[in-house]
Amino acid sequence: MKTAYTNRDFFTLSWLLIIIIVFPIFETSALGNILLVVLFSMLLLSALYSVSDHPRQVAIGILLALPLLLMAWTNVFLPSRDILIAEVMATAVFLTYILLVILKRVFSADKVTMTEICRAVNAYIMIALAFGMVYLLIHFIIPGSFRFEYGEWTLSGIIYYSFGVLTMGGVGDIVATGPLAHSVVTIEMIIGVMYMAVFIGLLVNAHYSTRYFSRNSGSIASQDPPTQPGPLPYLRSGGPVTLVAIGVMMNLATSITMVAFKFPLFLDTWGTSLVVMTGGFATGACAGIIYNLIMAGTFWGAPAVLWAASSILVAALTYFFWKRGWVDLKKPALLCAAGIVTGLANTIVVMVNTTIFSLAPADGPRAIAQFLEGIIANPVIREIVSECLIEIADKTISLVLAAVVAFLLSDFLRKYHAEKPED
């Protein structure tokens, strides 16, 4: 078993090193882009395998990996700046989660083995990659924050710069020029120094602690027996922050993909509904609000802030129907009814926003309105009907999708808890 644990961390390290070497070489090639996505997909699988100590960790990792894979493969076939930004965001969130799980294991190690060393190296590399993603976001949001003294701007160049900052080696051909970039660079420098100091100290402490406890026939585990965990119905063990990140990334990835493929629906509330089912109303509403704030600051402009009201409404209605047992795959009629009511209620919010703030209707309702021109003569009624049809379809599909994922996770984790109550 110990060999398996060592191998899975070594596999992750291998994929990290392969991507670091291959990425700069094939970055500008069309075929190389597909190759990189394939390699990155393998890295995701390997990273999920490396944190597979408990199904909860795997479940959370999968939910964070799905938006990333969706964005990465969409960007291969429909490359655009918006999809690339969404992909970078999803990558940063996924790497941060995997990084935190690995760091928790490294810093709680009670003895020094190759497994702990391999995990520590993985964490160090992921810190640089995660900060590289943050630098890319800063570059997209505030152009000119990084100046390339030699050559053209590249994604691999920013990753290269992040490794230079983390190792304190310095990168002379790339310069951070903006105040936000300076602040993040400073933080990465501090983390790089602190990581090495703390990690070496913990390794030394673990080494001498192991020798001491082996001589005194005692152990930390024996003095502090494990406690029985409570019920594990969903993903609450991930914490509110993790759940919010999952909801935001799910909403963002789905909406950007729908726009890229020119579908009439956004499906940008199913992540909010999923978080409500797993973490409660407040956590789901927070995920929806943060999603809209991100969209307002990046893709859709300031008007996207107005749709935070829609996210709060969806979170409230999802919580209401969830508590009353309507959101149940065994009750499809009630589940669809909940989606229809949510869509109708959200239509009111949409009509109020578009009327008061003179917002242009989305492409989906506009297309439906054109289809209804020969059926409904009154333009106002036609606009309301088209908006109702779009919102009902959007919110019903989103609620059903969230219910499917929530029930699958619930069933999976309950079975695991029933089989291994001692974990």
**How far is 59 from 55, CA to CA, in rounded Å?**
6
Distances (CA, A) of 353 to 104, 305, 318: 45, 11, 21
In this structure, are residues 180 and 297 in contact, taking their beta carbons and an 8 Å threshold? Answer: no
**How far is 276 from 314, CA to CA, in rounded Å?**
9
Q: What does pTM read for this prediction?
A: 0.77
**How far is 413 from 57, CA to CA, in rounded Å?**
11
Tokens of 96: 């941060």
**CA torsion angle for 151, 154, 158, 163 (degrees, to 10)?**
-80
Phi-psi region of 217 (alpha: psi -120 to 50; beta: other; left: phi over 0): left
pLDDT per position as a tens digit, 115-168? 778 888 888 899 999 999 999 999 988 888 888 887 778 888 899 899 998 887
pLDDT per position as a tens digit, 19-61? 888 888 888 777 777 888 888 888 888 888 887 777 777 788 8
* pLDDT tier, 319 (very low <50, low <70, confident <90, very high otherwise): very high
At residue 288, the pLDDT reads 94
Model confidence at 172: pLDDT above 80:
no
At residue 203, the pLDDT reads 62
Amino acid code (one letter) for 47: A
What mean pLDDT is predicted for residues 370-398? 83
Task: Report the sign of the C-alpha dihedral through residues 112, 98, 39, 52, in that order.
Answer: positive
* pLDDT tier, 414 (very low <50, low <70, confident <90, very high otherwise): low
**How far is 321 from 339, CA to CA, in rounded Å?**
9
At residue 11, the pLDDT reads 85
Model confidence at 222: pLDDT above 70:
no
Model confidence at 411: pLDDT above 80:
no
In this structure, are residues 245 and 64 in contact, taking their beta carbons and an 8 Å threshold? Answer: yes
Every domain of the chain and the residues it spans: 2-223, 236-419
Model confidence at 420: pLDDT above 80:
no
Task: Look at 75 and 222; give whichever has higher pLDDT.
Answer: 75
Fold assignment, 236-419:
Arp2/3 complex 21 kDa subunit ARPC3 (1.10.1760)
At residue 376, the pLDDT reads 79
Helices (H), 177-331: 179-215, 220-223, 239-260, 270-279, 281-297, 308-323
At residue 238, the pLDDT reads 56
Neighbours of 130 (CB within 10 A): 21
The most confident of the ranges 101-105, 246-250, 349-353 is 246-250
